[in-house]
Chains A and B, each alone.
Chain A
């Protein structure tokens, strides 16, 4: 097996819960906006489901952030050191 081949179990870290809370959205609100089931939002937030590229891009578009500001293969750095969220 090629060493570059991605593992299926590799977790996708995300900031969905934080962004959702920031906008005062419930899981159902976000799920309705993205056209998925509210349980799916919960599983993504818990890192138990890795969204498709399509859903990740739709999520990024909805929050008006680059996709890498919401999803990452590596754990996110503290907010204070992150400029992708537009906080400087």
Chain B
């Protein structure tokens, strides 16, 4: 499997299988709690985006704090979803693959919906700035990591929202 020795799976493969079979924190493996976490992630991302566009002096620190808070939340959600969104195809069964396809489809649709208002907002910020008060490069520079983060996290958020309650 994937260039590994037939007898001894690599540490990475063992970790993936442990993650897929993990049954830790059963109380958190409900759709309701996963949705709460996904909503929390969305709030943090919106907060970071809002702060990035604001003129406040503490905006930079705020963005950093918000983004740092998204990391543990994202990895926790990923653990609860058994990494189904990003483990290699070989490790998944037919249901997981089918679900993953659905999650990516919806993530792609949401991304399309986010891009248009995102571009309009950026355009409004750029055009709204007066000539002597140019838009800070940090504001525009924040767009690239923002796009990267959203593209990376969105499928997991969609999966958290859509995945049904687990079987005990």
Contacts and interface: CB of A to CB of B under 8 A. Distances in A.
A55 interface: yes
A52 B148 CA distance: 35
B26 interface: no
A36 B95 contact: yes
B94 A36 contact: yes
Interface residues of B, number: 11
Nearest to A28: B21
The interface residues of chain A, by DSSP majority, are classed as helix
A52 B167 contact: no
Contacts of B94: 36, 40, 51-52, 54-55
Interface in A36-64: 36-43, 45-46, 48-49, 51-52, 54-55
B20 interface: yes
Interface residues of A, number: 18
B95 A46 contact: no
A37 B167 contact: no
A49 B167 contact: no
A55 B166 CA distance: 20
Contacts of A54: 94
A52 B166 CA distance: 20
A43 B167 contact: yes
Interface in B1-34: 20-21
List the 5 shortest-distance A-B pairs measured between CB atoms, nearest first.
Answer: A42-B167, A36-B93, A40-B95, A37-B93, A49-B95
Interface of B: 20-21, 92-96, 164, 166-168
